Amino acid sequence: MKRYEPPAGWTVQAYRFALDPSDGQVAGLRRNTGAARFAYNHMLRRVGAVKAQRAAEASYGVAEADLTPWQGWSLPDLRRTWNDIKTWVAPWWAECSKEAFNTGLANLSAALGNWQASRTGARKGRRMGWPRTKRKHGRRSARFTTGAIRVDPGYRHVVLPRLGRIRTHESTRKLARRVKAGTATILSATVTETAGRWFCALQVAVKRAVGRPAHTPKAGRIVGVDTGIKHLAVLSTGELVPNPAPLKAALTKLGKAQRRAARRIGPYDPATGRKRNASNRWQRAQETVARLHAVVAAVRADSWHQLTTRLAQQFTTVVVEDLHVAGMVRNRKLARALIDAAPATLRRHLGYKTGWYGSVLHVADRWYPSSKTCSGCQTVKPKLSLAERTFNCTTCGLSLDRDVNAARNLAGLVRHVDLELLGDAKTGRGAYVRPVRPAPAGGAAGRETSRPTHPINAVRQRTAANRESRLLTER
């Protein structure tokens, strides 16, 4: 499926609205999301059955030309097969939108493609297994790409194919005015159910007028941001952004709700392992747990959105670290706190918000010792344990909070860079730059994490150090 490429000066973003559907509309939403799940599961079983049949025939010495025809898993192949069998597999198919079935087929094509790429080594990361079937009580979702998709002129409804006008919980005035002015085009709509509430996310191509960020002399043009656990983020200006820790705050209620849900009669019998009818109390207990998780996710997302929007609007250059979060969470003592803080969200949000507001995002090298380096004299400590929360420099006598010192070092990485070379002065469009890491003092002891040094990397470090010294001398 070809990805949509917006024209020059346009960006693709989403407008997400909470819905207030009627009982009949809720039934229609569940019918379409259930159709997407049914198409996904049926075609997955079909592809798996063909795969197993071909393997069995090959084990008996059947020639390749005589094997059962292979079921392709590209979206056109899956759609062609589904259209041939839907009349007897799903005789109720006419009650749902064709886009609902296409959602399940597109998700299956992507899942099987990822499995094949992981199996052949083309996809990085952990080895992916064979896709699993979607559960009936799992996340409900359906995507609409064709048909009547628009926001109502009254600013209180959205119009979706086969579902009609659905009232929104909040006003759609901002998007409706953009569409009316011709600066926005709705591409698709995705409806999802989260903790008993329905949401509609409209994918929109927007023409944005990017301007330079507003900054004050006190705040400065460059800010370094160090993420943590005790504080959500620490800025080089000295500001400490508090961490709401929503999961930690909800653990007591969440534990009680999960214990209550474990005592209810669920859809599976633990004694026999067979399916059974789930009780209404089990369903209500599961909804309570889901609502608590939804509140935790909403608080966390709101905190990060407020911070990243403010950084992109007020500062010209934002410097963050390239954190290996997947490796950090392997520490079982810090895993829960790290997941609760979600430090990788900072870089992900700033990656597109800096482009919106005309600022520049720098990503420091993963091995740059920002916490071990003194922000005053640039001396690098050989060791710095996590228990030491105050940085004390034995060379210049600087005593500073560990995180503030790291944020200042991040901001100092790009103070010698000409900002006009990083961004387009005419359009104000932001740039994504990974600065060169200066060679740490003391060699390998300056790194925060030990890593073997390759001879080519050593040459690159010396070249970067010479370049930085020349720039500092000229400045």
d(CA 314, CA 353): 12
- Identify whether 23 is a catalytic site residue: no
β-bridge pairing 164-167 and 157-160? antiparallel
- Give SS3 for 53: helix
Catalytic residue among 99, 193, 226, 340: 226
Q: For 358-422, where are the E strands, in sequence order?
A: 360-364, 390-392, 399-401
Burial profile 316-349: b = 16 or more Cβ within 10 angstroms, e = fewer: bbbbbbebeeeeeeeeeeeeebbebbbbebbbeb
Given a contact cutoff of 8 angstroms between Cβ atoms, the answer to whether 258 and 289 are in contact is yes
Report the candidate in 436, 446, 440 with the shortest Cα–Cα distance to residue 468.
436
Burial profile 8-20: b = 16 or more Cβ within 10 angstroms, e = fewer: eebeeeebebebe
Report the candidate in 355, 362, 363, 344 with the shortest Cα–Cα distance to residue 309.
355
In a 13 Å sphere around the CA of 80, the CA atoms on its Cβ side amount to: 7
Catalytic residue among 321, 322, 420, 448: 321
- Identify whether 321 is a catalytic site residue: yes
CA distances from 180 to 9, 75, 166, 174 (A): 18, 34, 20, 10
Q: Which two tokens stand for residue 305?
A: 């959105």
Residue count (the chain) = 475
Catalytic residue among 99, 193, 340, 403: 403
d(CA 320, CA 323): 9
Report the candidate in 74, 5, 42, 16 with the shortest Cα–Cα distance to residue 301.
16
- Identify whether 365 is a catalytic site residue: no
d(CA 229, CA 328): 12
DSSP at 331: S
Active site residues: 226, 321, 403
